[in-house]
Amino acid sequence: MTEATAGKPAKALSRADTTAPARSISRTLGRPALMILPWVAAVLVWYAVALSGLVSSALVPTPGQVFKQFWRLLTTQKLWFDMLMSSERVLLGLAAGITLAVPIGFVLGWYRPVRTAVDPLVNFFRALPPIALIPLVIVYFGIGETAKIVMLFYAAFFTGVIVMYEGIVQINPLFIRVARTLGATDGEVFRRVIVPLTVPHVLTAVRVALGVAWATLVASELIAAQRGLGAVIQNASNYFQIDVIYAGIICIGVIALLMDRCLRALGARLVRWQERIVP
């Protein structure tokens, strides 16, 4: 949806050359404008759909209505508290998942026999949808905070492990050989070569796991959650408050996006040396 509308101005400028106008647009508008443009376009399309009369206005609220609801929830229902609760759950689940996923993913990536043995198991557990686990989680962990965080931990851990070991497998053994010929001991090879080469994969694992954790949030808050964005969405669905559902979904997306941006900025600082397609 956003792609199609972003392409429009380029077409208006010139039909013959596609790259030159695209470049000149980014030059005249600048990077921030280029990043805001698709959002503006998306909101416009949303308005167009909502007001077109093609769909019932009861089913698709306008962005204005949703924003009004958002503001009402924020000022009267302490929506910020739901945001905080959900963010806290996601971050705790993510932290626990990644803390365990990094060493385990490393061992799996480093030792081929271990990988051969454990890989099917990891993929088996990763494939299980978190919602299907809810009854078991309730039996074993009750209906408190722990149960919700366990769900998020589960999702973050298995995603993190896979991203980690896929990355570790790709580490070029040439660098280890070079370090050895320069006189590095086993400890020095680990600290000075393997650790720096692992950092980018840890960052990727955190980013991917963060996305998966947010995606699992609503499921985890199906477990008797009073507060949290997932709870907001579920309560709204009981009362058919579609504009509230929209507001909740958008909050999740925006917070997830902001957290991902922070991680990217952190990553760019930590692995300045890495080759990137876009400099």
Partner 1 sequence: MSERIVFDRVSKEFPTATGHMVAVEDFSLRVRDGEFISLVGPSGCGKTTLLSMLAGFVQPTTGAVSLNGKPVAGPGPDRGVIFQDYGVFPWLTVRDNIAFGLTLKANRVPPAERDAVVARYIELMGLRGFEDAYPKTLSGGMKQRVALARAYAVKSDFLLMDEPFGALDAQTRTAMQDLLLHVLETEGKTVLFITHSVEEALYLSSRVVVITARPSRIRRVIDVPFPYPRREELHRHPEFAELEYELRELVMQEYVDQERQKDVSLTA
| Among 34, 179, 249, 263, interactor with partner 1 by CB under 8 A | 179
- By C-alpha distance, which of 182, 204, 207 is closest to 193? 182
| Cα dist from 218 to 36, 148, 149, 160, 227, whole Å | 28, 10, 12, 20, 11
CB of 166 to partner 1, least distance (A): 19
- The yes or no reply on residue 126 touching partner 1 (CB under 8 A) is no
Residue 277 sits in the site that holds partner 1 (CB under 8 A): no
Binding residue for partner 1, selected from 182, 226, 238, 239, defined by CB under 8 A = 182
Any contact of residue 193 with partner 1 (CB under 8 A)? yes
Q: What is the DSSP string of 51-77?
A: HSSSS-TTTS--HHHHHHHHHHHHHHS
170, 185, 237, 261: which one contacts partner 1 (CB under 8 A)? 185
Q: Under the criterion CB under 8 A, does residue 188 sit at the interface with partner 1?
A: yes
The amino acid sitting at 104 is I
Tell me the closest approach of the beta carbon of residue 198 to partner 1, in angstroms.
Answer: 11
Give the whole-angstrom CA distance, residue 17 versus residue 81. 50
> For helices 195-220 and 229-238, what crossing angle results, to 10°?
30
In angstroms and rounded to an integer, the radius of gyration of the C-alpha atoms of the chain is: 23
Q: Which stretch binds partner 1 (CB under 8 A): 18-26, 81-89, 114-122, 271-279?
A: 271-279
Q: Is 175 in the site for partner 1 (CB under 8 A)?
A: yes
Minimum CB separation of residue 180 from partner 1 in Å reads 4
> Which 3 state secondary structure label does DSSP give 174?
helix
Interface with partner 1 (CB under 8 A), residue from 184, 194, 250, 263: 184
